[in-house]
Amino acid sequence: MKVIIPVAGEGTRLRPHTLTTPKTLLRVAGKPILGHIIDQIADLDISEMIFITGPLREQIEEFVTTQYDIPSRFVSQEQLYGLGYAIHLGLTGIAEEALIILGDTIVEIDWKSLVSGGRNALAVQEVENPSDFGVVKVDGERIVDLEEKPEDPPTNLAVVGVYYVHDYKLMLEATTEVVEQGVTTHGEIQLTDAFDLLLKKGAEIYTFPTEAWYDCGKLETILATNRFLLERVPQGGRSEDKQLRQPVFIDEDVTIESSVVGPHVSIGPGTVIRNSQIEDSIIGCKCTIEDSTLSSSLMGNNVSIRRFQGNVSMGDHSEIGG
């Protein structure tokens, strides 16, 4: 089985962080989003992982090749035409079933059951705002129609970014048609339209339930993902003078003095925190926080904050206070 992970998106809603770091490499609960995704599927029978890359692709290649020994290939998406185009690039030339996982999505799901079912399947979840997503219409578990961000959704079942393609040859035909014919919805070549065409070609597609779904596409959702994962990962940290409110993830190479940290805080290596209080935040590597109170904040690497109270979103090498 091939695994296709599109990671070419520019992550504009998470700027300034994504100006220097690919969205999928932003850290939550102690590791990059992409690390959480790969760790979930690492024990599946994977012949190759295919990453569809865009800007800053070198960082993704370095992370994958140094952290994992699964055979991997990196396909550059020179034009950001949409997710349907990205997956078309990944499907081209493969001769196996494919598991597709969006690179900014963390899903709790029975992965082994999903890929052993022997049929096309899309992970779905009920949502309150289906018009913001790809939506499926169903007959039992069988999908009978798909539509991307419909104005009048037929159901509240949203596609959550995990797709298992059993009929890979027919799916390549579908993506080829939408790409070559320039079929777009909301200005982009959509994967939803390709799956709808797969239905029209006679394939059957089924829904697959998810236990939890977190989209890391913007500040509030990446913080929500951090909270969700911190409830499930080992907690740790080291300091002679600190007060932790669990759950937290603190790298061993962190100095915390006369401070209260947590709950729901992740801190990267090399960071120093003094005389501060932090909650519900993600702090990058080699940061300095002094005499501050932070909540609901996202900080990149090499950030310096002194004498500040409130919430911030700061990219690499930023500074507040003298």
- Residue pLDDT, tens place only, 161-183: 999 999 999 999 999 999 999 88
Lookup result for tokens 């759950």:
247
Domain 235-320 listed as CATH 2.160.10.10 = yes
Q: What is the DSSP string of 195-206?
A: HHHHHHTT--EE
pLDDT tens readout for residues 83-93: 999 999 999 98
Beta-ladder partners of 309: 293
Contact 106, 216 (CB under 8 A): yes
Share of the chain above pLDDT 70, in %: 97
Q: Domain-by-domain residue ranges, the chain? A: 2-228, 235-320
Mean pLDDT over 133-152 rounds to 89
Q: Which comes out higher in pLDDT, residue 123 or 212?
A: 123
- pLDDT surpassing 90 at residue 50: yes
- The 10s digit of each residue's pLDDT in 218-275 is 889 899 999 989 988 655 544 444 588 889 999 888 999 999 999 999 999 999 999 9
Q: What is the pLDDT of residue 234?
A: 55
Per-residue pLDDT at 214: 86
Q: Which residues contact 58 (CB under 8 A, 6 or more apart)?
A: none
| Cα dihedral 211, 50, 200, 184 sign | positive
CATH architecture of 2-228: Alpha-Beta Complex (3.90)
For residue 48, which phi and psi values (nearest 5 degrees)?
A: -165, 140
pLDDT at position 322: 63
Residue 241 CB-half CA count within 13 A: 8
Return the closest-CA partner of residue 279 out of 226, 234, 212.
226
- Give bridge partners of residue 212 from the DSSP assignment: 108
